[in-house]
Structure 1
């Protein structure tokens, strides 16, 4: 029976490509499910054979450890160089998105506080 190896929700394309290549190189039979039309399921990479699952998980753990080290080093280098994304760089690049996000947060907080205010008689 097939086992899920990697849920593709919030997985960058390069990571999914690396995992596919890793499974191909190890000659592990797998298949991929596409994301659903409405975004309920993000899709996934499944290992077909039960006897390959343990090897696939070992390979995946090794890959994730290597990727973690590489990505952290890249991020630290970007912070040192001043090229990493910060709140202020996003605000300069996309001010409308930031303002709309802040407005949405304030409205949601107000909506969450409204029942307490109504019950407590604060309004």
Structure 2
């Protein structure tokens, strides 16, 4: 995910895949990074994600439970927005992006643009 490190992205994937708010220990148990991680490492990553605005937390009992601040799709759209804003030439980026899309993706984009035009009226 744009703007996140490898471990942060792995933790966000656990949060996105969870059906409910989860504790640090639950995140640690579900992480599959190929490395042995300490509880405090995962706790620090979740604290950083909360501070950066990627995760929300709520005190339940003696521990925090965490949820993603936005969906995986919203995060992807925000990453694309960041790329467009920092590119210097958003038109060129969009044209290259559209050229790289499959026919199905192009149809989805056309449909989304039509819906946006209708909402503007």
TM-score normalised by L of structure 2: 0.28
Higher-Rg member (1/2): 1
